[in-house]
Chains A and B, each alone.
Chain A
Amino acid sequence: MTANLRRRKWFSRFFEILCGLAVVIALIPLAMILFYVIKEGAGALNWDFFTKMPKPVGESGGGMANAIVGTLILIGIAALFAVPVGGICGIHLAEYPGTKFSSVVRFAADVLNGVPSIVVGIFAYGILVLPVKRFSAIAGGVALGLLMVPIVVRTTEELIRLVPGGLREGALALGATRSRAVFGVILPAALPGILTGILVALARVAGETAPLLFTAFNNRFWSTSLTQPIASLTVQVFTYAISPYDDWHRQAWAGAFLLVMIILTLSIAARFAVRRLERMNRS
């Protein structure tokens, strides 16, 4: 082996190790965040957290019952808006993939996906808060829905395309119309995957804070009214985190723990569902 080759091999080895090191460096913050969220959050999480209302400053105890319900209401509104819009849009893109219109819409969905969530919040504020001069659960839910739309569009399109072409051709050959073929045969085949995709999208928007700050705002009291300001887990965690009280910090960690657990569970479940779907397709 010449000296030159030895030098090149050593060089190669060196950079390979650096790449491995990069993986380790990225996993350190991940491990740290999960460690602290579990350490600080799991201890603070108790039954009261789920069932009690926030206590006034100075009194210890209390929970985030209103914020948990608020988050559920908000993501419910988001899903009501985003699933039909994004789902049907995704069906159109999958059924007519090559048209100019489809590529423009696909492009628009990509743009929407890259718009910062706080900007989407301003938009929701402009169309739903400003005209009635009141923060509301509807405005917050729609803001989250707008963020969900591009994810639902992409999931639906991709999963419909995963459905074996033979199914579609079979339906059409039997004389089914396009809509019968889609809604009766193709969509049911892709549905488990699409549903898990929607769950992941819901988990993602449930963790959003910025677009809620001036749409759903916050509410210290119990409220399920859609036209009133409403509390949410994320905004509550934010409020507590920047407060100077130790008891509130503990509650913030508990809220963060709950959020992370929801998201981890859903994303792991989705992973298995998609893998199963892919295996089904191959066979």
Chain B
Amino acid sequence: MIESHLRERLITGDKSYGQISEDICRPIENPPTKAWWAGFSLSFVFLCILGLSLSVSVGIGLGMWGINKSVGWAWDITNFVFWVGIGHAGTLISAILLLFRQKWRMSINRSAEAMTIFAVMCAAIFPVFHMGRVWDGFWALPLPNNFGSLWVNFNSPLLWDVFAISTYFTVSIFFWYMGLIPDIATVRDRAKTKTAKWAYNLFAMGWNGSMRTWMRYEIVCLILAGISTPLVLSVHTIVSMDFATSVIPGWHTTIFPPYFVAGAIFSGFGMVLTLLVIARKVMNYEDYITIHHLDAMCKVVMLTGTIVGCAYITEFFVAWYSGVEYEQYAFKNRAFGDYWWAYWTMMTCNLVAPQVFWFKKIRQNPTIIFIMSIIVNIGMWFERFVIIVTSLHRDYIPSSWTYYRPTITEIGIFLGTFGLFFTCYFLFCKFLPSISIAETKAIMPIDQLPIAKERMKKEGHSHH
């Protein structure tokens, strides 16, 4: 394996193998810092808000939501799509970047995969609670027909969603956990207290680092990567079909599947950047998640943002080109109707703002990257809001025209999902290695390998 000198180093700071384990395990082995407690407490408060808002929704009923006769889908499905989209970056990094042999993924895949799992959990809350009677939620599964005459509608993309997302969630968890096993074993071997030893031992599943375990590990990882790749594409494709199979103007458009997938990757990378810009600083991971990692992720954000922007323009153009007046009205209404502000927020955040990443200086400035990542998250949230609400609030009959605004309960649920997401993320950072130890060691720069150092010493060079 030869690498051009023009390529950036993936690990900086002249680390040895021992140091890598040391650095990555540090947050797990030391008591949590003040910053961790502050972040965790704040997240937990929001998690409580989630509990409260959901209790209100179930206890009093969906009348507590702002949905009305025309806009029957609004806040809930917007947030559902938003969270599912965020989850996509994890799978993209672990599976698709793996297929493209992008080695820089090694130090970010673990936390991105964790993010996938937490994001899908947040997403699932919305459709389940939109059912109203959450205790009957399992009726969404094609169970034997013992409950009466109800049988799921196999023609409905909403049912495809149930299959796609539950499969996606399962495979993501397996993939994430498989990758964790060697690292959990490392933590186990280093653990000092009895409880830690016992717990990590349990989850390491007897990993002993022998050739045999590594061979099994590699085979399973390859199979899971193979399954994940079509899966990640199928999930957002099916989510897009929730809308695109209908005949609602603004929803029924054939570009939706690839455009939703691109948007999902865009928003997912936005969220990965939000988390990692902070995490690398707070957890002292700057030698592993280097500025060049951020640079690469910014490029992905710019590329996918521009693809999404190109799709917006395509939709707008083809709506005009189609000559269908309902279609034309839907798009005019998006841009200049009651929700014009949402539309232009979306356009600015998703198409215009990411163009700053043309400049290397900006791609390597963590402060600006952090601000940009928030802008991307806002933009992608508004994208779903625009698509969903603007198409529904103008029905074919003007007497059905309404305006939707969220209630405090709905806002509470949305903010609460952030509580759930970040509570899980903080726990993950505390108890599990948030960078893959084993995989990071595999991408050690060639001249930092022990053998290279030894040779250099022999030849009398002093290494830099």
Q: Do A and B bind each other?
A: no
